[in-house]
A and B are shown apart, each in its own frame.
Chain A
């Protein structure tokens, strides 16, 4: 009897699924095989720990919470309407009104906010960019500059507030509430406004004398002398009106418009990495590369006229 076969017997033994003969087969093996004996002990311990997991209960009555919704369904049923799925899904905004907080989004917001701050650091310190002069120095400086920003801001409340807009943006798909969606575009937050306002008046121009980039996106910027020193993390449009920055580790990018407060657009969150940001010649379309968790690269574009992202 090999250990792999005994593994299955042990697993079934834990579920009380062995007959007497199988049990004695297993026990015989375990008597001679210390590895399997140890494994059985661990599995038994695990199983008893799983059995003892707390029987959690909701902190308020769920039926009470959905009662208004049930009343509504009941009323529409009595008046001749029939139950169907669309009716259930229409009801979601009411059910979800109990939702006090969005923990997940809050945490993402922290990461996104960190990116915003990192981005703002870059924008509000144009001097550091022009001082560098040569493209290669700037290349080296980019990632290092953004990292401390990310770490310093992680988890701070003010940073998290910056991105209430992002939460709303993400939420639009499931929320049918029009008033939620309205705020998505303008940065109505205090700290974001402060920083970007400062950056805006200081003149956001990054170095215009940069040499040709080392990693051009093929075809997309032909005949266009890019102003971008670090195509991997951020890009400014040729007319100086737009800036885009990829958010470290969060799979998103953000677009800023010169003279407007806060982020102008925040992309959907992707499970992977966004890099190689660049603008087209007429400063209307942002190109970027998305590398998913499995390492597959896809080419995307974002159209500022329609605020839509699409595969190229």
Chain B
């Protein structure tokens, strides 16, 4: 958690404080970008963009919001923009991955790939469902914190999260039953 005093100093123009603050949040920013974009290079780009935006926009942060939800709003917006711009490319990439995985799936121990399977399944969710899941599980956000970050009503957040978990459960369950993918 970032100290309120550090944020105040950064907002007051203390550049050292601002850089220290960015160092404290870079991992959490990257983590969200990584799980939203499902690609290391894109995540590195998006999180650098997000940190620069935080650097330039620190003045616009208001104390009534939690700092970490404000940060996550910035990084999720950047990722969603990126995701939308890249959509055609991403779908081709996914086809490619399915082809490759189809060949060796029977011979592998399924459980050893749990994390990767889950990450891949998250990548198949619609963007809002994906974002809610990432904030809930990779940032440990509450319903309310997710709602604040995404500027969504609480009930919408719940419904996205519940549907996302049902979809993930179906995707992973099908997969474990018989390698049904796609």
Q: Please report which residues of chain A, range 48-63, place their CB below 8 angstroms from some CB of chain B when the two chains form the complex.
A: 49-59, 61-63
Q: How far is the CB of A269 from chain B (nearest CB, A)?
A: 5
Given the known inter-chain contacts A101-B41, A104-B39, please indicate yes or no for A42 contacting B169, CB distance below 8 A.
yes
Which residues of A sit under 8 angstroms from B41, Cβ to Cβ? 99-103
Report if A43 contacts B (CB, 8 A): yes
Is A88 a contact of B52 with CB atoms below 8 Å? yes
Is B86 a contact of A104 with CB atoms below 8 Å? yes
- Choose, from B1-9, B21-29, B64-72, the stretch at the interface: B21-29
Which residues of B sit under 8 angstroms from A25, Cβ to Cβ? none
Is B39 a contact of A70 with CB atoms below 8 Å? no
Given the known inter-chain contacts A11-B161, A74-B15, A107-B93, please indicate yes or no for A66 contacting B138, CB distance below 8 A.
no
Our pick among A7, A14, A46, A249 for the contact of B168 (Cβ within 8 Å) is: A46
Report if A22 contacts B (CB, 8 A): no
- Choose, from A90-98, A190-198, A301-309, the stretch at the interface: A90-98
Is B90 a contact of A104 with CB atoms below 8 Å? yes
Report if A33 contacts B (CB, 8 A): no
- Alpha-carbon distance between A70 and B43 when the two chains are bound, in angstroms: 19
Report if B112 contacts A (CB, 8 A): no
**Chain A residue at minimal CB-CB distance from B34:** A56
Report if A250 contacts B (CB, 8 A): yes
- Alpha-carbon distance between A11 and B168 when the two chains are bound, in angstroms: 13
- Alpha-carbon distance between A191 and B118 when the two chains are bound, in angstroms: 40
Given the known inter-chain contacts A49-B118, A103-B41, A269-B88, please indicate yes or no for A69 contacting B173, CB distance below 8 A.
no
From DSSP, what is the main secondary structure of chain A's interface residues? helix
Which residues of B sit under 8 angstroms from A251, Cβ to Cβ? 88, 92
Which residues of A sit under 8 angstroms from B55, Cβ to Cβ? 66, 70, 73
Is B172 a contact of A63 with CB atoms below 8 Å? no
How many chain A residues sit at the interface, stated as a range, is 35 or more
Which residues of A sit under 8 angstroms from B119, Cβ to Cβ? 53
Is A83 a contact of B56 with CB atoms below 8 Å? yes
Which residues of A sit under 8 angstroms from B115, Cβ to Cβ? 49, 52-54
Is A271 a contact of B88 with CB atoms below 8 Å? yes
- Alpha-carbon distance between A47 and B164 when the two chains are bound, in angstroms: 11
Number of A-B contacts (CB under 8 A): 141
Which residues of B sit under 8 angstroms from A17, Cβ to Cβ? 143
Q: How far is the CB of B41 from chain A (nearest CB, A)?
A: 6
Given the known inter-chain contacts A91-B52, A103-B39, please indicate yes or no for A96 contacting B45, CB distance below 8 A.
yes
Our pick among B29, B52, B118 for the contact of A95 (Cβ within 8 Å) is: B52
Which residues of B sit under 8 angstroms from A66, Cβ to Cβ? 48, 51-52, 55
CB 8 Å contact bits of B69-106 with A (1 = contact, 0 = none): 00000000000000000111111110110000000000
Q: How far is the CB of B130 from chain A (nearest CB, A)?
A: 12
Which residues of B sit under 8 angstroms from A250, Cβ to Cβ? 92
Which of A51, A56, A84, A96 has the most B CB atoms < 10 Å from its CB?
A: A56
Q: How far is the CB of A145 from chain B (nearest CB, A)?
A: 21
Q: Please report which residues of chain A, range 258-297, place their CB below 8 angstroms from some CB of chain B when the two chains form the complex.
A: 269-271, 293
Given the known inter-chain contacts A43-B169, A53-B118, A58-B47, please indicate yes or no for A111 contacting B92, CB distance below 8 A.
yes
**Chain A residue at minimal CB-CB distance from B138:** A53
Our pick among B35, B42, B173 for the contact of A53 (Cβ within 8 Å) is: B35
Report if B128 contacts A (CB, 8 A): no
Is A95 a contact of B19 with CB atoms below 8 Å? no
**Chain A residue at minimal CB-CB distance from B58:** A83
Our pick among A62, A84, A104 for the contact of B30 (Cβ within 8 Å) is: A62
**Chain A residue at minimal CB-CB distance from B42:** A104
Is A43 a contact of B165 with CB atoms below 8 Å? yes
Given the known inter-chain contacts A49-B118, A53-B119, A54-B115, please indicate yes or no for A108 contacting B89, CB distance below 8 A.
yes
Which residues of B sit under 8 angstroms from A270, Cβ to Cβ? 88
Q: How far is the CB of B138 from chain A (nearest CB, A)?
A: 6
Report if A8 contacts B (CB, 8 A): yes
Can you give 12 contacting A-B residue pairs, CB < 8 Å? Answer: A53-B118, A53-B138, A56-B30, A56-B34, A62-B29, A69-B52, A73-B52, A73-B55, A88-B49, A103-B93, A249-B92, A271-B91
When A and B form their complex, which 5 residue pairs have the shortest distance between CB atoms, in order from nearest? A271-B88, A83-B56, A50-B137, A11-B162, A62-B26
Question: B residues engaging A (CB < 8 A)?
Answer: 15, 19, 22-23, 26-27, 29-31, 34-35, 39-45, 47-49, 51-53, 55-57, 86-93, 95-96, 114-115, 118-119, 133, 136-138, 143, 158, 161-162, 165-166, 168-169, 172-173
Given A58-B30, A66-B52, A96-B45, 5 more A-B residue pairs with CB atoms under 8 Å apart are A7-B162, A15-B161, A62-B26, A62-B47, A293-B91
